[in-house]
Chains A and B, each alone.
Chain A
Amino acid sequence: MIDKNQQIIDSTLDQEYKYGFTTDIETTTFEPGLDEGVITKLSKLKKEPQWLLDWRLKAYESWKKMEEPTWAQVDYTPVDYQALSYYSAPKYKQNDSLDDVDPDIIETYNKLGISLNEQKRLEGVAVDAVFDSVSVATTFKKELAKHGVIFCSFSEAVIDHPELVKKYLGSVIPSTDNYFAALNSAVFSDGSFVYIPKNVRCPMELSTYFRINAANTGQFERTLIIADEGSHVSYLEGCTAPMRDENQLHAACVELVAHKDATIKYSTIQNWYAGDKEGKGGIYNFVTKRGICTGDRAKISWTQVETGSAVTWKYPSVIMQGDHSVGEFYSVAVTKNKQQADTGTKMIHIGKNTKSTIISKGISAGEGQNTYRGGVKILKNADNARNFSQCDSILIGNKCGAHTFPYIDVKNPTAKMEHEATTSSIGEDQLFYCNQRGINLDDAVSMIVNGFCKEVFAELPMEFAVEAKQLIEVTLENSVG
């Protein structure tokens, strides 16, 4: 196994960030700047109904009045929101047939290891590919339609399923929720839409692959997943961006709605460009993710592996409204060089006998700063609510930082809440033990870190788990000196 690891490490070491290339294609890009005109133009271009435009404008109004949050343990040069372009799309229009997609884009996704060609795909994963501001292709749509599953780009959903979009859009994350969510609500350009009908177990894994290509743009996508009564879906999300010297903004919103007895499993491997060693460039990843268990026995599970982005600000949350509903959060966050991550979750227990689990693993190397910020709220009526949180951090090197900020509010005496956290370096005795058995330093570190993250990797779908493991190995290469 060690040999295999070494090969993987060697093969990837030559490139610092292998997804850092750009694709040269013709695009339609808005002039930089943001005002009502731009939002109206965006809405017109996407042929949106009036109610959606009104919703966007309302969000914009409230965004203007908001202030950018400063409470996070991150430090970055402020974003000039007027200097960004809010829409950039390849000129080719999306169509049902892949033949209509620009071959350069297909090539891009091939290079990223995401084949849009259905035959070549691994059995059982449908992909929605989002390129800059628009969804360029969605695979296996017809296959899924047979089961009644709707899986399409957000823009299509607005036109084909307006009743569903109107009902659920903003129901979990109101347009006025926070600064970045309000901005996203005003200017979101595309994203994925999933609806799983009653009692359907989605026959394949669904996934979205986000790619930022154009310079000087922000990516604002919106994902909405609705799992109707008794249904089940597993959704994967991956992201990459080219290497550029300037910082780019990614402000997404993800809303999950799980009805009675439904299960949603949402996995993310976030590998945006993280900037170079001096901290120049990289993506600002300011994302709002939230799910709601509306019915009894619903379950939402978030799994995330965060290795990229210059700055991460992300708190996937679960509101457990239905009785016996379950919320889970499994996270591995790695920061190296000058990366900063402020991530965690919020578990809100409203219903009776609700249960939440938080497992968060932070790894800081180089000058990286890694923060876990989590909230657990057990409200008055949440009888017998149960929470278990565990947040562990590993520090590699003496310039990095690991921080833990849990907020725990319990208003019901029958609730049981436990939180524990540890922070430590990789023990010299552990390394010594490995070295003594002929395992070199890098392998030893990678073994120990993988062991440390095992609980989270176990929650990832198989394909992602392998990718995540490799990603961590490559990320941490040479970080122990």
Chain B
Amino acid sequence: MLKKIQKYSHSRFEEIGYPSKKLENWKFSSSKHLKKYLSNNSDDKDTSIDNHGDEYTLCFMNGEITLESLNKFIYKDDMTILDIDQLSDENICSTSSNFEKEALFHLGLSTIKSGKYFEFKKGSKFDTPIQILNFYSKKNEGLRISSFNIFKLNQGNNISIIEKDVNKGSSSFNLSLNKFICSENTILNHSMMYDDSTESNYLGYNYYELGRNVLLNIDSMNINSTFNKNFIEIDLNKEGSEVKINILNLARNQQHLDNNILMNHNAEHCISFQNVRNILKDRATCVFNGKVIVAAGAQQTDSNQSNKNLLLSQNATAHSNPQLEIYADDVKCGHGSTTGALDKDSIFYLRARGIKESDANNILVKAFAKEILQDFVNDDIRNLSENNLNHWIDG
């Protein structure tokens, strides 16, 4: 089946080509520099990595799962793990109509070698978070590494997934596609940590399909990414679901960070919150493209978007497009966006109490960031993020 999908995606990509700045989603991010990255070949794999994490870790090496990690994975009996190629139901692989329009989504899909389907068994317990380590190990320059995985949660599952990227070697273009299917009465906490020193480019397409009474938390922190563009699309298809997104981005130098969030409220009585903050130094740019669509009939929707950007240098740029499209009348929707520098009065307040200027600045930046971090669901991730934050501010 994979062949069939890939053939279609390949023809779609050939048809559309690399996205131009004329497209709404790519208005502020150029795809030009991504063209030089060519599809990876399996020979170029670094086998020296022997750390496949602990028994709670699923380790992916350049987009493909490692057998070592799979063998010792503690939850493997509580899950069904299949190759996407083995799936018979095409609907499981289907994605949102918006990703369908994205050329690079098709590029990713058409060039994966294999993908995995993880189904969590009904009633199984997953008390410890599952860690997903994405190793990108590149001996050669100019590699494009694509991956596609599907996760399905069954009724009653309460699962935390922590996703971390580890880059080694040269810079690359990491194209990561994920689909999460959350059936009725499930809880999914998805944490994403990006920290990269190889100047790689990350492009993510994450699609979440929610059933009735689903609780979804997405926490993400992003530091040291040269180019990081993440598409998150969530379909709230049945009543009673709740989604919370907390994203903190820290950028310096010429880094470019971009969050595209699309929230489709297709059913009544759903709640969604988006909370995205960017802190920019040097010549960094950030983009927030958030959209909430409340379909006709999705009454009693409660939705809120908040985007706050802190510019710490003269040359930093923030683009913010919080959008609402509402076709139902009995709803509560709002959004807010602010951009600015640190408050001079607050700095003065601290300095008047004997705190030197640079410390005062740091205190305020930390306070701004912590308003996001304190909402992170996972304690470990919160602590790790705080460390990273301190490190970033001091460095």
* Whole-angstrom CA separation of A402 from B328 in the bound complex: 9
The residues in B between 316 and 358 inclusive whose CB is less than 8 angstroms from any CB of A are 316-341
B339 touches A401 (CB 8 A): no
A405 touches B330 (CB 8 A): no
B325, chain A: closest CB distance, angstroms = 5
The residues in A between 46 and 92 inclusive whose CB is less than 8 angstroms from any CB of B are 71, 73
Interface size on B, residues (CB 8 A): 36
Given contacts A406-B322, A415-B339, contact A401 B327 (CB under 8 A): yes
Given contacts A404-B323, A422-B334, contact A417 B339 (CB under 8 A): yes
B29, chain A: closest CB distance, angstroms = 13
* Whole-angstrom CA separation of A411 from B318 in the bound complex: 7
Which A residues are CB-close (under 8 A) to B311?
Answer: 410, 412-413
Task: Choose one: A71, A412, A417; the contact of B338 (CB below 8 Å).
Answer: A417
* Whole-angstrom CA separation of A425 from B330 in the bound complex: 5
Which A residues are CB-close (under 8 A) to B329?
Answer: 395-398, 400, 425
* Whole-angstrom CA separation of A422 from B336 in the bound complex: 9
B224, chain A: closest CB distance, angstroms = 21
B256, chain A: closest CB distance, angstroms = 14
B296 touches A399 (CB 8 A): yes
B17, chain A: closest CB distance, angstroms = 19
Given contacts A408-B319, A421-B324, contact A413 B335 (CB under 8 A): no
Residue of A nearest to B334 (CB): A422
B323 touches A405 (CB 8 A): yes
A417 touches B335 (CB 8 A): no
- Which residue of B316, B318, B326, B331 has the most chain A CB atoms within 10 A of its CB atom? B326
* Whole-angstrom CA separation of A196 from B311 in the bound complex: 41
B319 touches A409 (CB 8 A): yes
Secondary structure type dominating chain B contacts: strand
A424 touches B331 (CB 8 A): yes
A419 touches B337 (CB 8 A): yes
B341 touches A403 (CB 8 A): no
Which B residues are CB-close (under 8 A) to A216?
Answer: none
Contact with B along A385-403 (1 / 0, CB 8 A): 0000000010111111111
Which B residues are CB-close (under 8 A) to A425?
Answer: 329-331
Task: Choose one: A397, A406, A407, A420; the contact of B334 (CB below 8 Å).
Answer: A420
A401, chain B: closest CB distance, angstroms = 4
Q: Is B313 in contact with chain A by the CB < 8 A criterion?
A: yes
Q: Is B299 in contact with chain A by the CB < 8 A criterion?
A: yes
B341 touches A411 (CB 8 A): no
B318 touches A423 (CB 8 A): no
The residues in A between 231 and 254 inclusive whose CB is less than 8 angstroms from any CB of B are none
B158, chain A: closest CB distance, angstroms = 33
Q: Is A23 in contact with chain B by the CB < 8 A criterion?
A: no
Secondary structure type dominating chain A contacts: strand
Which B residues are CB-close (under 8 A) to A93?
Answer: none
B200, chain A: closest CB distance, angstroms = 27
* Whole-angstrom CA separation of A423 from B301 in the bound complex: 11
Q: Is B123 in contact with chain A by the CB < 8 A criterion?
A: no
Q: Is B361 in contact with chain A by the CB < 8 A criterion?
A: no
A406 touches B323 (CB 8 A): yes
Residue of B nearest to A71 (CB): B24
B336 touches A419 (CB 8 A): yes
The residues in A between 11 and 59 inclusive whose CB is less than 8 angstroms from any CB of B are none
Q: Is A418 in contact with chain B by the CB < 8 A criterion?
A: yes
A423 touches B324 (CB 8 A): yes
B338 touches A413 (CB 8 A): no
B326 touches A417 (CB 8 A): no
Q: Is A161 in contact with chain B by the CB < 8 A criterion?
A: no
B336 touches A406 (CB 8 A): no
A377, chain B: closest CB distance, angstroms = 10
A409 touches B328 (CB 8 A): no
A411 touches B317 (CB 8 A): yes
- Which residue of B313, B323, B329, B340 has the most chain A CB atoms within 10 A of its CB atom? B329
B261, chain A: closest CB distance, angstroms = 15
Which A residues are CB-close (under 8 A) to B336?
Answer: 418-421
A395 touches B331 (CB 8 A): yes
Q: Is A435 in contact with chain B by the CB < 8 A criterion?
A: no
Which B residues are CB-close (under 8 A) to A416?
Answer: 338-340
Q: Is B309 in contact with chain A by the CB < 8 A criterion?
A: yes
A215, chain B: closest CB distance, angstroms = 34
Which B residues are CB-close (under 8 A) to A404?
Answer: 322-324, 335
Given contacts A407-B321, A408-B319, A413-B312, contact A395 B341 (CB under 8 A): no
Given contacts A417-B338, A425-B329, contact A405 B321 (CB under 8 A): yes
* Whole-angstrom CA separation of A399 from B328 in the bound complex: 7
A398 touches B331 (CB 8 A): no
Task: Choose one: A378, A397, A401, A410; the contact of B325 (CB below 8 Å).
Answer: A401
* Whole-angstrom CA separation of A399 from B330 in the bound complex: 11
Given contacts A398-B297, A416-B340, A417-B338, contact A406 B321 (CB under 8 A): yes
A423 touches B331 (CB 8 A): yes
Q: Is A6 in contact with chain B by the CB < 8 A criterion?
A: no
Task: Choose one: B296, B324, B331, B341; the contact of A414 (CB below 8 Å).
Answer: B341
A415 touches B332 (CB 8 A): no
Which A residues are CB-close (under 8 A) to B98?
Answer: none
A409 touches B333 (CB 8 A): no
B27, chain A: closest CB distance, angstroms = 9
Contact with A along B37-70 (1 / 0, CB 8 A): 0000000000000000000000000000000000
Which A residues are CB-close (under 8 A) to B312?
Answer: 413
* Whole-angstrom CA separation of A406 from B321 in the bound complex: 5
A421 touches B334 (CB 8 A): yes
Task: Choose one: B24, B326, B339; the contact of A402 (CB below 8 Å).
Answer: B326
28 contacts between A and B (CB under 8 A): A380-B314, A380-B315, A398-B296, A398-B330, A401-B325, A402-B324, A403-B324, A403-B326, A404-B322, A406-B321, A406-B323, A406-B337, A407-B319, A408-B339, A409-B317, A409-B318, A410-B320, A410-B339, A410-B340, A412-B311, A412-B314, A416-B340, A417-B337, A418-B336, A421-B336, A422-B334, A423-B332, A424-B332
Residues of A within 8 A of B (CB): 71, 73, 378, 380, 393, 395-425
Q: Which 9 pairs of residues, A with B, have the shortest CB-CB distance?
A: A413-B311, A395-B329, A413-B341, A410-B339, A408-B320, A404-B324, A423-B333, A419-B337, A422-B334
